[in-house]
Amino acid sequence: MDQTLINRIVEAALLAAPQPLTLVQLNGLFPLDEPAPDGSVQAALETLQAECESRGVELVEVASGWRYQVKADVHPWVARLWTERQTKYTRATLETLALIAYRQPITRGEIEQIRGVATNSNIIKALEEREWIRSVGHRDVPGRPELLGTTKGFLDYFGLKRLDELPPLSELKDFGELEPQLQFDPETAPVTANIAMDSEAEASGDPEHQHEAEASSPPETNNVEHDEEPALADDGDSTGAHHE
């Protein structure tokens, strides 16, 4: 089969798919009686990546596979296609997500011990519904508490392929840098080329942080954390959330 045709097939599939596609899925586009030559699909991806150098989109590999996404330098203009207000997450949510991302697997009790406050159950529920975290097992201690870890969806959203691509903790100065819109620069965060950004509301109703959410969605509950929540120390052992 001609390599040019393979390039076109791969490009069309990536643009049409509602989610990233793996190399196996891309190879599966070709029937068994006429398979793509060995290495031709990978070659197509490399060619398509190179062709994006001067375009407004880029072809990147994230945890779930390959996808096209809008480049950061044109994102402010493209983002005007979506009129919904972007979700603003509370500091409590970002701290919880950070701890799970950097110290997984971790229990809810361990999160509370590090943060020094009780974690609102709606925060965990919201992150699970967002498909950013999931249960990965149970700690082998009395009570067998649930262990939490991040998902491929978390990596995809932040444009990461692996967890080791998360920025070092020493680079995280303030949780305000962590507005999650696919990367940690709120001014230049990219969006995927074929999936509109969602406008999910923050599920936590912590009154100590409601002022942070007033510019976005109203809180869904009045259940609160009762203690003041200190910022996590940037000492290399604690975390700050940041790499859809």
Specify the pLDDT at position 17: 95
Amino acid at 91: R
- Does CATH place domain 91-213 in 3.30.499.10? no
pLDDT value at residue 167? 86
Q: What is the pLDDT of residue 217?
A: 36
Q: What is the pLDDT of residue 74?
A: 94
pLDDT at 84: 67
Q: Which helix (H) or strand (E) holds 103?
A: helix 91-103
Distance of alpha carbon 218 from alpha carbon 200, whole angstroms? 11
Q: Are strands 146-150 and 57-62 parallel, antiparallel or unpaired?
A: unpaired
- What pLDDT sits at residue 89? 84
Residue ranges of the chain with per-residue pLDDT less than 50: 175-244
As a whole number of angstroms, the distance between CA 151 and CA 101 comes to: 9
Q: Note the pLDDT tens digit of each residue in 188-205.
A: 334 443 333 333 333 344
Contact 232, 240 (CB under 8 A): yes
